[in-house]
Each structure stands twice: as C-alpha cells, then as structure tokens.
C-alpha cells in the first residue's frame, strides 16, 4: 500500500464529502502537480476512481426518488457518443509529442469552468421544500442532449465536469427542480459516463491500477468523514474558497 496515494485519496474523498464537488477537480491536479503522474494517466485513473466512488450514491438517491431518469437518459444520449468519439480521436493523436500538453490544458480549462459553475450555482433547497419538480419535457430534449455531449467531451479529456459543471447544466435546464433531485440526477448521469470514459482510457493504457486501488482505499473513509462534517460548514464559505483554489490550480496548469 502506497501511503501517500492513500492519504491523497483520503483528502480528496473528504473534500468531496464536504463540498459535493467531484473528485476530478481536486484529485487529478494533485496527481499531476504533486506526484508527477502523466496527465493522461491521471485523467484515466481518476475517471475509474470517480465511477467507483459515486456508484453507491446512485443507489441511495434512487431509493429517495431523487433521480430524474428521463433527464439522465437525455444527457447520456449526448454524453456517451461524444465520449466515444473523443476517445477515438485521442487514440489517433496518441503519437503526437503534444499529447500530454493537450490533457494539461484541457484540465486547466475544465477547472476554470468548474470554478465558475461553483460560484454561479444555486444553494440548498429552501426550508419549505416547496419548489415544484421541473419535468425534462419542459425543456427541449435536443438542448439537454447537446449539453450532455459537451459534458461528455469535457469529462473524457479532463475527468472534470461531471460534478459541478453537470450540476450547473441541470440547474440551467430545469431551474424549478429541487437541488436534491439535481444532485441525484447528476450523480446518476456521472457514473455511466465516467465508467465509459475510464474504460476507454484503460484501453489506451492511461490507467494505473495500483494507484487506483490506493486512492479508493483512502477515499472511502474520507467521504464518510466529509459527509458527516458537511452540515457544519456553511456553503457560502466552502463554495468561494473551493472555487478560488481551483482557479489557482488552473493558472498553474495553464501557465
């Protein structure tokens, strides 16, 4: 067991539990900047890490009826083909000497978008819980599919975007949908997308299985601890701080 990787998984899981933001926004830059992992390998490993850590969340949210499966299907109709096409293009460009630079810049741009999504995102449900559920039929299916495709591309090249960006997209599409249902729907879409993209990166040789196992060993207690502390940290404080951190990391990656 590599303790440094397991501790990183612990920290990443804790921050995911506290902020609700996907681990890719934090874990992938950490692997690249601190441990010197090649950007392509960091992205591929983190995608499978995300799929594993979020899988249990789908079951929990589904039992609570917090998943809008029609919205999930529309997003997948866009994100899955876009992810597969991106993987095909990555395979074609793998021999280029700028290959890792492409992943680094893609990650930097994705972090900027995530920071913006965090700052613009809606807060928690009102205490009354009176927001009506906005049905996917109230928005054009084509728009949902198109935005799903953008998420699919972003996630495949950076492992970032299935969390904060996906949530921001759902809020924009269905502004009257309760935040608990937004979160559940976003997680239900993120799991198959990150699994598909992660398996694609595995076929490209971009996954370090030993690193993946150690990250998962650390993330399980980290998420548990962070989730229990979540209620004690005001969202109005955690969101701006995390957005600022992501912007600083993005600047480092891009420049």
Residue spans of alpha helices (H) in 24-127: 24-33, 39-63, 69-93, 99-120
* Blockwise average pLDDT, block size 10, the chain, 255 residues: 82 71 76 90 92 80 86 96 96 82 88 84 50 55 93 92 83 84 87 95 94 88 72 70 84 84
The string of DSSP letters for 58-82 reads HHHHHHTT---HHHHHHHHHHHHHH
C-alpha distance from residue 114 to each of 6, 118, 214 (Å): 25, 6, 26
Crossing angle for the helix pair 99-120 and 24-33, to the nearest 10 degrees: 140
How far, in Å, CA of 60 to CA of 2, rounded?
Answer: 31
C-alpha distance from residue 3 to each of 10, 15, 217 (Å): 10, 18, 10
How far, in Å, CA of 255 to CA of 250, rounded?
Answer: 8
SS3 36: coil
- Residue 118: what pLDDT? 78
**Taken in order 61, 66, 139, 23, is the CA torsion positive or negative?**
negative
- Residue 23: what pLDDT? 66
- Residue 102: what pLDDT? 87
């Amino acid at each position: 067991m590599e303790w440094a990787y397991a501790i990183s998984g612990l920290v990443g899981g804790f921050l995911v539990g506290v902020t609700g933001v996907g681990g890719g926004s934090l874990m992938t830059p950490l692997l690249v900047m601190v441990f010197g992992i090649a950007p392509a390998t960091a992205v591929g490993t983190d995608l499978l890490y995300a799929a594993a850590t979020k899988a249990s969340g789908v079951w929990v949210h589904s039992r609570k009826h917090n998943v809008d499966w029609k919205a999930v299907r529309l997003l997948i109709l866009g994100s899955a083909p876009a992810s597969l096409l991106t993987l095909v293009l990555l395979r074609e460009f793998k021999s280029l000497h700028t290959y890792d630079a492409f992943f680094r810049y893609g990650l930097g741009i994705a972090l900027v978008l995530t920071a913006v999504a965090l700052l613009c995102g809606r807060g928690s449900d009102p205490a009354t819980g009176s927001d009506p559920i906005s049905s996917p039929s109230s928005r054009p299916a084509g728009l949902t599919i198109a935005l799903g495709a953008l998420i699919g591309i972003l996630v495949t090249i950076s492992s970032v975007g299935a969390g904060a960006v996906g949530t921001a997209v759902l809020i924009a599409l269905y502004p009257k949908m309760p935040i608990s249902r937004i979160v559940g729907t976003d997680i239900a879409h993120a799991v198959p997308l990150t699994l598909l993209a992660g398996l694609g990166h595995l076929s490209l040789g971009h996954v370090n299985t030993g690193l993946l196992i150690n990250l998962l060993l650390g993330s399980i207690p980290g998420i548990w601890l962070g989730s229990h502390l979540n209620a004690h940290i005001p969202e109005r404080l955690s969101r701006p701080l995390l957005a600022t951190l992501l912007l600083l990391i993005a600047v480092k990656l891009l420049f």
